[in-house]
Amino acid sequence: MVLVPQTVTANEDISWRCRLMLFKRFLHRSQLALLRFLVDFTPPVNYLAFAGAGSADQLCGHICQAGKTRVLVVTDKGLRDLGIVEKAISGLRSRGIDIVLYDGVLPDPTFEQVLEGADIMRAHGSDAVLGVGGGSCMDAAKIIAAAATSNQDPRDWVGFNKIKHDVPQIFCIPTTSGTGAETTMGGVIKNSERREKIVISDACLMPAATALDPNLSMGLPPAITAATGMDALTHAIEAYISLWDRGTSKSSSSAAIDLIYRYLPLAYSDGDNKEARESMSLAAYYAGMAINQVNVGNVHAIAHQLGGRYGIPHGIANAMVLPHVLKFCSDETEEALAELGRLVGLGSSGSTAAELARDFIVSVSDLRNKIGIPSQSKLIKIYCKFFHIYWLIQNFNTYCITIILSRYYMIKIDFLKIYYY
């Protein structure tokens, strides 16, 4: 008997691909439902923040009153050389607290830096950790605190709620206004071997207290002000349009968006404006509270890939991707986007929800352009087109499963459209 090979028609191939896509959507939504079920049983978080000029010294007093005597300060060399770190921690020195400094944190901290800081913490016998700086310093401080009190490899904690031991108290003093790391229970660390960013999230990494001191962000360069401000805006918008309406996520995110629209352009153009700096620090904090309750979405899923692979600063990556993702999901998030449009003063009494949603997306692009952030990256466009399209396609779904908690499922072809068309 002769076996005749069967051919697959174009229609059959399309049908198979459609079934596969539907299965992937089902799997994705099932995983999100499970995550939502688990998050609903997460105990409520207590927030403590000292705000306003001089609040860094108030936090130092609080650390002393908490009975801490030996503190590891995690920061970077740039802030140390500028004298900002000493300004932030002078209250600890004046109160007789023994301090050791680890200033080896670089943008997008790696596990190697975490282990280096953990060794210093063990040798010093620190009973608390204070992160001073931007998101990289605060994220590193969190994972260092956990690593210093465990023999486990920190890579084993990637994901949610995998840290099973007691972690020393963590405190934060942000010097930028964007990441919200001072109020979240997660840390983002870069795997330098695989060139990807990964998330470690656990309630024990939640900072015990933070200081939002505008004196420490005065004179921040415009480019950093812009990038971190757009990071905070992304947090707030993703939390607001999330499927999960939990706790104070709506009120916190809307307060953040209102403040950012009013004060980010001013902080960008006048870096010494104390009112703008204080308002932006509050906006970042509120946005951090929001994502602490509902997590982030597709913008971050893509931005973490771009940062890990190409070294694009996180706020810049968010700013480039945000309008595209909002446009992609505008049908399903129309009402939420329309509410945000009204919040920032767009439209008129007769404007429809669709018009308000469209105007809000345009306003996000306009704000990005106003503060000097590009809409595209030539590096990504060239690099991806010729070398790494396959890598991005293969890895994107992994981040969709673990991070994306928004209203929609972005398929690969739409991701590619953002950068190539």
- Model pLDDT for residues 168-216, shown as the tens digit of each residue: 999 999 999 999 999 999 899 998 888 788 899 999 999 999 999 999 9
Strands 49-51, 209-212: pairing is parallel
| Residues 49-216, CATH architecture | 3-Layer(aba) Sandwich (3.40)
What single-letter amino acid sits at 236?
Answer: A
Query: Domain extents for the chain?
Result: 49-216, 224-420
pLDDT at 31: 67
Strands (E), 12-102: 49-51, 70-74, 98-102
Q: What is the mean pLDDT of the chain?
A: 86
Q: Model confidence at 21, in pLDDT bands (50, 70, 90)?
A: confident
Superfamily of domain 224-420: Dehydroquinate synthase-like - alpha domain (1.20.1090.10)
pLDDT at 273 over 90: yes
pLDDT at 110 over 80: yes
pLDDT at 413 over 60: no
Instruction: Of 140-149, 292-301, 406-415, give the range with the top mean pLDDT.
Output: 140-149
pLDDT at 276: 97
Give the residue, 378 or 54, on which the prediction is more confident.
54
Whether 287 and 236 have beta carbons less than 8 Å apart is answered as: yes
Query: What would the mean pLDDT of 353-381 be, rounded to a whole number?
Result: 90
pLDDT at 402: 35
Give the residue, 311 or 32, on which the prediction is more confident.
311
pLDDT at 416: 40
Tokens of 386: 């010729």
* Phi, psi (deg, nearest 5) at residue 53: -60, 130
